[in-house]
Amino acid sequence: MAMTAAALDAAHDGLRAAGIDFVSGLPDGWQRPLHERVELDPEIRYVPVCNEGVGFSICAGAWLGGKKPALIMENSGIRVASEYIARISLGTGVPVTLLCSYRGDVGETEHWGIPHGIVAEPLLQALRIKYLIVRHVEDLAKSIVRAKRIAEAQLHPAAVLVSGDCVWED
Amino acid sequence: MALDRYEWLGRLAGRIPDDALVMSTYIGAVSFEWAHHTEEHHRSAHLGQMGDVIGLALGLALALPHRKVVCLDGDGSVLMELGQLVAMGEQQPGNLVVFVVDNGVYESIGWSSQGRRPTATAGRVDLAAIAAGCGVPYTVDVTAEDELDAEMELAFSRDVCSFINVRTRPGHSHVRPRRTDGIEDKYRFVRYVERLEGIWITGVPPQDIALMKGREH
């Protein structure tokens, strides 16, 4: 199962409207189509990685060079990236927009997604990352724009967690 | 015969192109000695920490592909996050040169009568071989001074993504620690990049400043 076609368009529109011009990430089942879309977008430099911590460091370095970066990943990746989010952003104040699949949210069908849902929000709170949970497609694009806006204002990451109608057509 | 770190960092500081940017470690002797040799020039970002220095340098190099980016990292830091070498090998930015100070020990944590705690490079691990296996186009393991001079010459005379591992003797010089924290280091570097590149990165955007000036009249 992947994000819906409408959610895919909304996420891509949101990234463009937010001025995101640099994306790193590790594809997951839900947001795989977004990685495919972004990779083909000539306005966005796409850098695939094999773990989200490396992706976060790359995004932070790109911001220092003037890019507006986003990291696209499953919420399990927040755990992996947390080491570098703490070192780089809590330590020096670097903004990166995080766009995460919210596996383990209410409606989850996969047992392995449950721990991701248990850990994600407390971990974001521990890292002082403000976040929006988006369960309706019509909220997705503007939520990405708003997350990027506060990330730049506070010089610290902000996150959008994607779930609900963006992925399930039940 | 391993090299003396303080001495070769000084030679590197003398050879680095004036318009290059540097991503260095944030704490520890490498940062202190580099800051000493470069008189804390703002082209150097002392922002990297264990496991993220190459990632930061890679992002910077991809953001500014026309600009030479030099990365200064340590063996313990590279070992903590080898996935950085995978990304470096995949992307292969020709403007990125990584120098690793490989002294085979965790020096900054101190030592006892038992000596220094070894890193894995003191054993069988070969970082240059790992980087080559990740697809980094040019990798080398340097153990001699004349060899290092030639490598530095090569690194700054061409555009090839390079990983230069320099085997260094353990041991501290006695330069003073740096006084700034990561926040100050970030602003210094970002303002330098803004001036160098003629771009806006953070703070009040130029168009808003123009707007405010317009309101004054």
pLDDT at A140: 98
Q: How far apart are CA A104 and CA B11, in angstroms?
A: 54
Mean of pLDDT over chain A: 97
State the pLDDT confidence band at B28, using cuts at 50, 70 and 90: confident
Residue A84 predicted with pLDDT over 60: yes
CB contact under 8 A, B55 and A66: no
User: Which residues of chain A from 122 to 161 reach within 8 Å of chain B, CB to CB?
Assistant: 152, 155
pLDDT digits (tens, 9 = 90+) for B133-167: 999 999 999 999 889 999 999 999 999 999 999 99
pLDDT at B26: 83
State the pLDDT confidence band at B217, using cuts at 50, 70 and 90: low
In contact, A16 and A45? CB cutoff 8 Å: no
Mean of pLDDT over chain B: 93
pLDDT at B195: 97
pLDDT at B129: 98
pLDDT at B169: 92
Residue B46 predicted with pLDDT over 90: yes
Q: How far apart are CA B113 and CA B78, in angstroms?
A: 27
Comparison of pLDDT for A159 and B217, the residue scoring more: A159
pLDDT at B138: 98
Q: How many CB pairs under 8 A join A and B?
A: 123
State the pLDDT confidence band at B1, using cuts at 50, 70 and 90: low
What is the mean predicted confidence (pLDDT) over A115-127? 98
Task: Return the CATH number of the domain spanning residue range A5-166.
Answer: 3.40.50.970
Candidate CATH numbers 3.40.50.150, 3.40.50.970, 3.50.50.60, 3.65.10.10; the one for domain B5-216: 3.40.50.970
Q: Does B66 touch chain A (CB under 8 A)?
A: no
Query: Which residues, listed in sequence order, are joined to residue A70 by a DSSP beta bridge?
Result: A23, A97
Distance set, CA B139 to CA B1, B126, B146, B169 (Å): 19, 11, 17, 20
CB contact under 8 A, B91 and A60: no
Residue A169 predicted with pLDDT over 70: yes
- Three-class DSSP category at B214: helix
ipTM over 0.95: yes
pLDDT at A78: 98
Q: Does A92 touch chain B (CB under 8 A)?
A: yes
pLDDT at B216: 61
pLDDT at A51: 96
State the pLDDT confidence band at B172, using cuts at 50, 70 and 90: confident
Reading the block at residue A116, the tokens are 């991701």
What is the mean predicted confidence (pLDDT) over A141-169? 97
pLDDT at B148: 93
Reading the block at residue A55, the tokens are 């992706």
Distance set, CA B187 to CA A93, B42, B45, B46, B181 (Å): 10, 10, 9, 11, 10
Residue B215 predicted with pLDDT over 80: no
Find which of B29-38, B64-73, B110-119 is predicted with most confidence, using mean pLDDT.
B64-73
Residues of B in contact with A152 (CB under 8 A): 202
State the pLDDT confidence band at A143, using cuts at 50, 70 and 90: very high
H helix runs in B39-101, sequence order: 53-63, 75-80, 83-91
Give the amino acid at B157: S
pLDDT digits (tens, 9 = 90+) for A27-82: 999 999 999 999 999 999 999 999 999 999 999 999 999 999 999 999 999 999 99
pLDDT at A165: 97
Give the amino acid at B45: A
Residue A170 predicted with pLDDT over 90: no
Domain ranges of chain A: 5-166
User: Which residues of chain B from 153 to 182 reach within 8 Å of chain A, CB to CB?
Assistant: 182
- Name which of B58, B85, B192 to mutate to probe chain A: the one with the most chain A Cβ atoms within 10 A of its Cβ: B58
Contacts of B92 (CB under 8 A, 6+ apart): B135, B136, B137, B161
In contact, B60 and B106? CB cutoff 8 Å: no
**Percent of chain A having pLDDT more than 90?**
99
pLDDT at B213: 76
Q: Across chain A, how many H-helices and E-strands are there?
A: 7, 6
Contacts of A26 (CB under 8 A, 6+ apart): A48, A49, A50, A51, A52, A55, A73, A74, A77
pLDDT digits (tens, 9 = 90+) for B98-109: 999 999 999 888
